[in-house]
Structure 1
Amino acid sequence: MKKILLCVTGGIAVYKAVALVSKLTQAGYDVRVIMSESAQQFVQPLTFQAMSRNDVYTDTFDEKDSKVIAHIDLADWADLIVVAPATANTIGKYANGIADDMITTTLLATTKPVWMAPAMNVHMYDHPAVKENIDTLYKRGIRFIEPSEGYLACGYVGKGRLEEPEQIVGRVSEFFAPKELPLRGKKIVITAGPTRERIDPVRYVSNFSSGKMGFAMAQAAVELGGNVTLIAGPVHLDTPPNVERINVESAEDMYQAVSVRFDQTNLLIMTAAVADYKPKHQANQKIKKQDSDTALEMERTKDILATMGLRKTTQVIMGFAAETNDVITYATRKREKKNTDYIVANDVTAEGVGFGTDTNQVTLVSKDGIKEFPMLPKHALAHELLAYIANQEGWQS
């Protein structure tokens, strides 16, 4: 039986933590709960005790077993620690090494995986200090269950709701499921983000791509056993663990980086939004403002996807198509014209799907037809896409 330590911190979403304990227990997990003092203002410890059928811990100095030190024992006991809801206060204390209650003391004492499920006001979640603390913890290996969007207890509508208990239980079950590594031994090259095409030393032509989908694909590919090289345009995203990252700027830079690796690649995934055109002439000095209108003469960049499609021998190529209308028609034409195996198409005008979002909804187009994927967080969608491709290519066997 897998053991889960649930740390419950203070917020109105504590009521969801009760349901979470119930569902985890029903799913066969051994659950123990630590509550902060603030959490007890919303729900009594007895409620969690009844749901988990285990003692509830509330005080670092309340040692229930004299043979062990409680917070050290719990830190070692758990297979997974989940903080839900995770308040801005607890996230901040954990990021800065503060241990002033039983939850933070236990978190600093553990070497086990820690997940945090934030829940707070939309403006608090977007505050630079909170974002910096989350980024600090992520770099240390802490994983976050993104809050969902909706009506908040404070009256605001936005991102900040604790993820639904059913979704968290699903993530936990996925975490403990036997790990299949269908991409083990496969060399995978992934492009991500935009390119910048310089006009002069201070100006450039680019697009709105955030790189999030490409980085999610890279992380998922590593988790599925792949040997991953990520060729990234100018984005401000952390490199997923165990991924080789190569930073590039222009379409030509990206082409060169892909080209030299292509012959040894098993799977090329082109999520990058590569510029189709670049300024024909790049000025060596800043172009000064003029009283009259001006025109910028453009020329085509190299079509990386089409070029690799022509060079393809045994490689599997997956391209991405961000469209605003007639999505399937354009994606089908693109796959045929560029000789790719798959095109992942999405309508970037749809809510929750465009550039910079944390979710995506796509259709996979191949020679065998189309397959629809539902709206999912980009990391989850990346897993779904790669698992499907691995099965189609016979890499699962």
Structure 2
Amino acid sequence: MKEQLFTVLKEKEPKMIEIRRYLHENPELSFKEEKTSTYIADFYKNKDVQVETNIGGYGVKVTIDSGKPGKTLAIRADFDALPIHEETNLPFASKVDGVMHACGHDAHNAYMLVLAESLIDMKEQLTGKIIVIHQPAEEQPPGGAIAMIKDGVLDGVDNVFGIHVMSTMETGNVYYREGPIQTGRAYFKVIIRGKGGHGSSPHMANDSIVAGAHFVTALQTVVSRRLNPFDVGSITIGSFDGKGSFNVIKDSIEIEGDVRAMTEEVRTIIEREVRTLLEGLAGMFGITYELNYVNDYPVLVNDVHLTDFVANSLKEAGIEGVAEIVRCEPQPPSEDFAYYAVERPSTFFYVGAKPENGPGYPHHHPKFDVSENSLLIAAKSMGAIVLDYLDKYQV
């Protein structure tokens, strides 16, 4: 069956590229992907498959039922874009000003649609069920995964697989890792309130900027002095809004920050320390504060047993165009596939997509692009493990 699937996918490679380019030209932001969702649903019209729309918003759930007993496997692709002005000069560059597929989600759905179509045509040879999850809003918290889960997309599902194409990883390689693979994330916004005044009379005011600056400096000790040196965590202050007049002492400022951690324990420690520092700040500077602290995407943890199965399946598949199957390092960004992994044993892996010409710009860069050779590799890789999983995976 694998060779049959690989042959069909190779024949349909131009179709994958055509879909990818259409989606790239017509990006939509998170939670606004109405046309993309309709395009995906329309693709399955007149196919022998069950299609459910508006799952958790604009999500699309496709059930490929072999009619024979077996496991139920979900495979997921996300389809939202980013608020970035494209600078690639590609002939199929975004037609939407200020919106761009700068993370490869166009490629995810291009390979997934064609793979799903091919599996539908083969379903009489399969066992069990395949749930294809076309997910909106990966880029924007609270993310689309959690809403689709609440709407029942994982009902009856045993395991979940996902792929991300990576512009900074070599095309021709497929990458995996067991255990914690991508960071969990938190966001915080704090408003520090002092007492405004004239710059010539600081003794009659209470400077919120000085208090805020001390807070930002003190935050640097959280990672260096509160975390175990072997643990992974980071705190970034992305916005310090204290703009005013040069001779006016501000009565309030706003600070926004980003937190990343590789374990839930570290994420909890960082939150505790942020709150402790603010309490100390209030006593030290006589200010008050308002804190909005939101933990969103969890740490993405790949199930060890399932990931070992995936790696072995890929190594044994002998996929043309795949040079190496590589155990990679964990990745710093967060990913809302983590919500699926919390609910079901799951594996998320990577397909190298570094462009053949020029540098491989990182994800979320205005010049981001992927090698379109990665589409067929992604389709064959996911297809191989799907067939092996349905045929022989045992917990």
Q: Work out whether the TM-score is over 0.5.
A: no
Quick one: higher RCO (CA 8 Å, sep 6+), 1 or 2?
2
